[in-house]
Chains A and B, each alone.
Chain A
Amino acid sequence: MFKYFELVLLAVLVSAVPTARAQDTFQRIGREATPAELRAWDIDVRPDFLGLPPGSGNVAKGREVFLAKCAACHGAAGESNAMFTPLIGGTTKEDIASGRVKSLSLRTTSERTMFMKVNTLSTLFDYIQRAMPWSQPKSLTTNEVYSVLAYLLNLADVVPENFTLRDITMAEVQQRLPNRNGMTTDHGLWPGASTNRGGIGNGGQPDLKIEACMSDCRTEIRLGPPLPESMRKAQGDLAEQTRAFGPVRGTSPRPN
């Protein structure tokens, strides 16, 4: 028993060595961050709403801010495809009820708007606060961020026209996001611990297990449709995009 405790103590000491060494060796390197510095940069908002600043904003105020600062890129109703992927569109009242955006599985549209994908309201608050508007990121006040988000939620039919979004109502509103049940982490592309071990995903198991065939692997070779000629032409003169000597040349444009 005594020896067992000794071993445990030894293990604790050994595991504590790196931390102790870093703190002892690297003296006069770095300094403690001040509370004001932490506040200035710690702006992230997590899915459990940790980091969400207190505040509120309504749809009407949000429309005002959005038209002034956001509509030039996103369109007055967040529908524009002129600069970025549309924010609004592609979701239905049925989607809001089910929490799954049906059109994602129907192949009815190739366009995927923001509201067709997002499942966490914290993500939108966090992103608007940190990165918007495009040319003046981080210039919105906290209440302007709430307002713009309220306006977008109204455009997406998630909240009514007279709605005021508050820090304490965020979780409730999230329960109406049209794709809130549309995410999965059941895959092998997360490089950390699996869901079973408190992490994400299946622990790195690939979704394909293939044998490397060396001969007689196929009986026929069928090619897919050729590259659309418009796509080839869109990238300019390929002859100018490959070195002018060596075993190959860039292929010159085909005569029309």
Chain B
Amino acid sequence: MICLGGKACGLTSQNGVIFSIVTDRATCNDQRQHMNRTPNQLGRLRPAPEHFLTDAEIMAVKAGRRDFLRTSLQVASAAMAAPLSARATEGDPVILQLPEWTTTAGRPVADRPYGTPSIHESQLQRRQLRGLSKVAANSASFTPLQGLFGIITPSGLHYERHHQGWHDIDPTRHRLMITASNPAFIRTPKVYTMDDLMRLPPVSHIHFLECGGNTGTEWGNAMVPTVQYTHGLLSCSEFTGVPLRLLLEHCGVDFKSARYILAEGADGASLTRTIPMELVESGEVFVAYGQNGEMLRPENGYPLRLIVPGVQGVSWVKWLRRIEVGDQAYASREETIHYVDQMPDGRLRQYTSVNECKSVITSPSGGQTLISHGYFNVTGLAWSGRGKIRRVDVSFDGGRTWRQARLEGPVLDKALTRFNIDWVWDGESAVLQSRAIDETGYVQPNYGQLRSVRGSRSIYHNNAIQSWEVLPSGEVNNVQVL
């Protein structure tokens, strides 16, 4: 505790200097006083974790009342003094009065043959960004990153982007055809059933999947309130399937002549994207039927989708029906009219595919309110389309000073990487940022740096550093540091 306080104190004094322009100077003594004022034991006296803050207390936090915790202690003490629950004075009622789950029999096995989350988790859902699209079959839903742990996205919360709606395809009627733009480029064009593909030796790899338009609303200004909407076109799964190189070899593809592939979906849009043969030859690209231990979900391409690690989601063609190998790029609609990045001179960058190194703090994050002063584990995600994450730094003062975060769990190639860092919030304003560095040495840019080369009308591939402003009330807001 003392050690933690000491570390935080040093940081806080830096914070104080920086935030002297916007708020009161916080000193080491202030910090210690805050900590004395909010002893950790206090929480243990509160009625129950679920009701840690009453409505009145939340209003007090919002109103910026610095003494809200002291007040809440008084309220709690008063409640305990009430004659109705004499036993409550002895401790927490949910401990002293056994709850129904402790005093009754529970439900049987296989009550829900396909398990679903607790009813208490209903807040975390895929959500549409209202105002993004007028046609829900040509739209996106966003992953609730603010409440997820680790690096794997639950399949039911994987973000969606459909270009002409989704279908639940009958796998016995699904086919994958491998063809060539020129008959000379392939010995035998072939058709594979799901039976065929699932007989072949599979690989399983964990990779992130990010829409090229993720964070696209934020190019000009902070525009959406939460991390779900700023960064939620992002997911990470373990995918299982067959390396595409193996299938192309099986068909006798002439790799010398055919340097591109076209991937095509079986949906109404029959969406197409060009992918370089180099990524296929490296063994990275695979046709997947499995996701997180089960089959792909229909919204994510059941029964077959392409996995193109490090490349934006649109190239991970869902409901994959055809691969054509060829000797030039295809200029499909999704690489000519959309998914082109507008530069300041008005030119459109075509065939932008790689998602560059990026990170975001997922908690605390925009649209949330901290429940008290004191210790917080600040957590987030980092990823790079060029390889592994080497390091993540976090700033609590808007980018003036940085500390290195801890990378938690596996650090994998082209996968989400979880980071954590300790923070003792002293009740002052703060601006939280994360900055990722990948194994190529590329450093995630801030908005000033990114706009200096890309302007603000690119729509796609916004990998700038995200800022969350914490107000004295505990409220966290999406802001941009200019």
Contact = CB atoms under 8 A, between A and B. Distances in A.
Interface residues of B, number: 140
With a 10 A CB-CB cut-off, give which of A191, A213, A223 has the most chain B CB atoms.
Answer: A191
A145 to B, nearest CB: 14
Contacts of A201: 351
A162 interface: no
Contacts of A213: 402
Contacts of B310: 191
A204 B384 CA distance: 13
Contacts of A44: 262, 264, 272, 324, 330, 332
Interface in B337-355: 337, 340-354
With a 10 A CB-CB cut-off, give which of A84, A216, A244, A249 has the most chain B CB atoms.
Answer: A249
Contacts of B367: 232, 238, 241-242, 250-251
B364 interface: yes
B343 A33 contact: no
A33 B397 contact: no
B461 interface: yes
B77 interface: no
Interface in B135-179: 135, 138, 144, 146-147, 163-164, 177-179
A115 B14 CA distance: 53
Contact of B191 (A22, A37, A120): A37
With a 10 A CB-CB cut-off, give which of A103, A137, A218 has the most chain B CB atoms.
Answer: A218
A122 interface: yes
Interface stretch (A61-69, A151-159, A165-173, A181-189): A181-189
A234 interface: yes
A200 B259 CA distance: 11
Given A213-B402, A242-B368, A224 B276 contact: no
A14 interface: no
Nearest to B391: A212
Contacts of B269: 130-131, 137
Contact of B443 (A83, A210, A243, A250): A210
Contacts of A235: 127, 129-130, 224-226, 229
Nearest to B311: A191
A101 B346 contact: yes
Nearest to A187: B349
B444 to A, nearest CB: 8
B250 A221 contact: no
Contacts of B37: none
Given A44-B330, A114-B337, A241-B127, A214 B179 contact: no
A54 interface: no
Contacts of A31: 190-191
B449 interface: yes
B225 A238 contact: yes
Given A37-B191, A184-B349, A214 B449 contact: no
Contacts of B437: 212
Contacts of B324: 42, 44
A120 B331 contact: yes
A250 B482 CA distance: 26
A82 to B, nearest CB: 7
Contacts of A246: 363
Nearest to B21: A220
Contact of B393 (A43, A188, A212, A245): A212
Given A84-B138, A123-B337, A189-B461, A137 B270 contact: yes
B78 to A, nearest CB: 23
Contact of A130 (B129, B200, B270): B270
A83 B135 contact: yes
Interface string A18-34: 11011100100111110
B383 to A, nearest CB: 15
Interface residues of A, number: 108
B259 A105 contact: no
Given A46-B331, A192-B279, A131 B336 contact: no
Contacts of B363: 246-248
Contacts of B164: 131, 134, 137
Say what secondary structure dominates the interface of chain A: loop
B120 A117 contact: no
Nearest to B340: A117
A163 interface: no
Interface in B433-482: 435, 437, 442-443, 445, 447, 449-450, 453-454, 457, 461, 467, 469, 475-482
B121 A243 contact: yes
Interface in B385-420: 385-386, 391, 393, 397-402
With a 10 A CB-CB cut-off, give which of B246, B275, B333, B363 has the most chain A CB atoms.
Answer: B333
A248 B371 contact: yes
B190 A30 contact: yes
Contacts of B262: 44
B189 A33 contact: yes
Interface in B317-331: 321-322, 324, 326, 328-331
A32 B135 contact: no
B99 interface: no
A208 B177 contact: no
A186 B352 CA distance: 10
Nearest to A234: B130
Q: Which 5 A-B pairs have the closest CB atoms?
A: A192-B276, A105-B346, A104-B346, A221-B398, A22-B249
6 contacts: A29-B192, A43-B270, A123-B332, A190-B352, A190-B354, A236-B130
Interface of B: 18-19, 21-22, 49-50, 52-53, 58, 62, 120-121, 123-125, 127, 129-131, 134-135, 138, 144, 146-147, 163-164, 177-179, 181, 188-192, 196, 199-200, 221-226, 228-229, 245-246, 249-252, 259-260, 262, 264, 268-272, 275-279, 310-311, 321-322, 324, 326, 328-333, 336-337, 340-354, 356, 363-364, 366-371, 376-377, 385-386, 391, 393, 397-402, 431, 435, 437, 442-443, 445, 447, 449-450, 453-454, 457, 461, 467, 469, 475-482
